[in-house]
Each structure stands twice: as C-alpha cells, then as structure tokens.
Homo-oligomer: A and B are copies of this chain.
Amino acid sequence: MTGKLRIAIVGYGKIAQDQHVPSIAANPRFALAATVSRSTSGVPDIPNFSSHTDMLAAVKDLDAVAICTPPSVRYGIARDCIAAGLHALLEKPPGVSLSEVEELARLAGEKPVTLFTTWHAQHNPPVPAAAALLKGQRVAAMRIEWRENVRKWHPGQAWVWEPGGFGVFDPGINALSIATRIFPGALFVREAELFFPANKQAPIAANLRFESPASEGKLEAVFDWRETGGETWTIALRTEQGDDILLADGGARLVRNGQEEAAPGPGEYPSLYEEFASLIDARTSHVDLSPLRLAADAFLVGRRTLVEAFED
C-alpha cells in the first residue's frame, strides 16, 4: 500500500454530503481530491468543478471516483472516468438500464480498472448476519414492506418521477438488494402491480409477488411512497423450520424469533469504502445486477394502474 487513493465525488447531493464525505474522511486509504457539483461549491478547501469533463481535464493525479448523481446520467460519467483510468464506485442503482451497466463492466475489465456497483443497504451489518442464518434453509414465507413519505425523502426532486427515475423503486431497490443478498436461492418476479400517478412517469407504489426454487410459500413485497404515518422498512421471513427472521429499519436491526440480535460492524458507508479499497487492491470489480434485474422484471411484467395525480 503506497499513499492514499485520491478520490473525487461526482454529484454532491444529500447522499454525498451525508454519507460519502464522512466515510472517505474516516477511511485512511482515501483522500478526497475534488468534487463535481453544479449547484454547490462542494467541500471547503477542496477543488470543485461544474462538470466531470472539466474535473478530468484539470485534476491529473486522481485514482478513483464516486459517482453519486441521479442514475440517468451515471453511464456517460462512468464511461469517461473509466476511460481516464479511474476506479469507479457507483451509487445505487448503478444505471437506468441493465445493458448500460454490463457495458461499463466490460469497459472496466478492458482498461482494467475496478468497477464497484454499490448497494449500500447490503452493508448494514445485520444483512450478512441474516444471510448466514438463512443459508441452506427453505423459506415458508417472505414479506417486504417498504413504506415512506416521498415528500420527506425527495422534496421537490423531479428526476425521481421521470422515465428512468425509478419512482418508488428508488427506495424499493434497497429492499430488493437486501432480499437478493439474504434469500437462500434465486428470487424472481412473478407478478407486479405498479401504481402510477396520473401525471407522472414513475410508480408511487408497487406490489410484487416473487417465486423461488427455495420456497413454495408466499413471497411478496409492498412498496409505498404515500405513507404519512409511521415509516416501515422491514423484511420478514419465516423458514420452513419455523424460525422468524426480521430485518427492520432498512436492514439496520436483526430480530430472530422475537429476540434482537447484535450484529456489530463498521456501518453501511464505511463498510462500502472498505470494500472499494479491497477491490482496488485485488485489481478486481464487483458488479451485482440482481436488484436492478428484479426492478426491470417488475416493469416488464407489471400491471399498470393509474392513481391520483401527485403534486409536490
């Protein structure tokens, strides 16, 4: 290990400010070298650029980039950064189509640089702990409930409602990323009902039914962005042996048969940067398309129902 990995953040919105900057600062392997932000001036004393091309032209000793923009523009930015020889970490979802992410994986392999398609919810320490408990089990039932208030989490954000903005799948894909990580077998979408506001291009709610060779039971998910009461981010499974496994608070808590189980670890984003450094050291990539594939499948097979228009 020689020197720090000089990393730039492209897209300096809420998630970059709340999670990426502190996780980079806390990890001795990384040093924040630049930001790209059109609407802010970035981090004090760190050079900020209004486009990734300006940044690539001006900052010559970069090693890596964390791309935290909305998903629809990630492909072009990631392609240019990979072409410039940078290791690339992509916020979730890694793109708006499966084929563009597969193309990025091909480009990264060709260069070669490290490509890391992150799913931060998988890095909650209880998630691998739940996966270990479920390994080799058959599942009697699974119910995912992901209910939150879009006005609280995406106030006035138009892109979430645009084509490729994912709508309620923006949070829902976090649930899918946990489910694909912990489920003891392949999981696929059998039926989906997507609820589109009459004035929007993305669903505000969705009901999914899954199938798996590891289960004969009812496997379902409810995503709803219209929740104004208590928010819920839970995945509850019962194994055929009768064990109840509950991941609550978006994967932050593990409850087994009613008992809270400790699952220590560095936490979501610190763990994610640890893995990024390990991947770079090992000169390898980690590209996980399963959550995006389930979302794409839901749009492909989904029944669309128009619901009340949504006004921010």
Contacts and interface: CB of A to CB of B under 8 A. Distances in A.
A21 interface: no
Contact of A186 (B99, B164, B188, B211): B99
B293 A99 contact: yes
B301 A300 contact: no
A295 B72 CA distance: 17
Given A302-B163, A303-B201, A297 B103 contact: no
Interface string A274-312: 000000000000000010011111011111100000000
Contact of A189 (B97, B186, B299, B303): B97
Given A293-B98, A297-B99, A186 B106 contact: yes
A96 interface: yes
Contacts of A294: 99
A202 to B, nearest CB: 10
A107 B213 contact: yes
Given A192-B163, A213-B103, A96 B300 contact: yes
With a 10 A CB-CB cut-off, give which of A187, A293, A300, A303 has the most chain B CB atoms. Answer: A300
A191 B100 CA distance: 12
Interface residues of A, number: 35
A122 to B, nearest CB: 18
A195 to B, nearest CB: 13
A61 interface: no
A216 interface: no
Contacts of A49: none
Contact of A97 (B103, B163, B297): B297
30 contacts: A96-B301, A97-B189, A97-B190, A97-B297, A97-B300, A97-B301, A98-B297, A99-B186, A99-B187, A99-B188, A99-B290, A99-B294, A99-B297, A100-B190, A100-B211, A102-B293, A103-B213, A106-B186, A107-B213, A163-B192, A163-B301, A163-B302, A163-B303, A196-B304, A201-B304, A295-B300, A296-B296, A299-B300, A300-B300, A304-B304
Interface of A: 72, 96-100, 102-103, 106-107, 163-164, 186-192, 196, 201, 211, 213, 290, 293-297, 299-304
Given A98-B98, A100-B211, 18 more contacts: A96-B301, A97-B189, A97-B190, A97-B300, A99-B186, A99-B187, A99-B188, A99-B290, A99-B294, A100-B297, A102-B186, A102-B188, A102-B293, A163-B191, A163-B303, A163-B304, A296-B296, A299-B299
